[in-house]
Amino acid sequence: GATEIGSIALDGKVNQDLKVKLLEIPEQGIHSPQGELCIYLDPENPNGSVFEGYYFDDHCKEAMTDDGYYRTGDIAEWIGDSAKGEIQIVGRVSSIVKLSNGKFESLESMDIQVLQALQVELPSVQVCTLEFGGALVAVVCALGDDLKLPKLPVPCIFSKEPFTVQNGMLTPSLKLCRR
């Protein structure tokens, strides 16, 4: 869900009171079957919309499409037949970076690839992939000594210090700080 909208989907199934679309963003390399998840804000259907706008209108203009859809910032893709309304969230628009070779990459997707290559599970390892000088680099914090180093999909910097708000690796809301 999203604070502005409420519950969008449960187990991948979109709330039937909501009208959704996936908006392509070609300038960020996001093309069908993926797109930014957008929810129509229907003033006539109180079950299908909770959000009326932001306190500061300039935020609202950025978050809305011209045809009345709220842009969630999530990248989603349809699972199977889009008519059944099943989606999977695959990343955030803000985490798509363009590399020096012109290719677009999702930082969250690379985090998952690094974790899979390390063959470990959270919370024993923390991974934060960053764009640095037009390339990807992952910061990896291993909380144990049993880390095997297979071939990794990107160069990695290893640290024994856990990600915290104090060391700048997490935001105050405990999200990865990718800046």
Of 136, 132, 80, 147, give the one whose Cα is nearest residue 108. 136
In this structure, what is the dihedral angle of CA atoms 86, 89, 90, 95, given to the nearest 10 degrees? 150
Q: Which SS3 state, helix, strand or coil, does residue 75 take?
A: strand
In this structure, what is the dihedral angle of CA atoms 33, 38, 42, 48, given to the nearest 10 degrees? 80
Specify the higher pLDDT residue, 52 or 67: 67
Q: Which SS3 state, helix, strand or coil, does residue 16 take?
A: coil
What is the tens place of the pLDDT at every residue in 46-66? 555 555 555 555 656 677 888
Q: By the 8 A CB rule, do 40 and 19 touch?
A: yes
What is the tens place of the pLDDT at every residue in 119-142? 876 677 889 999 888 889 999 988
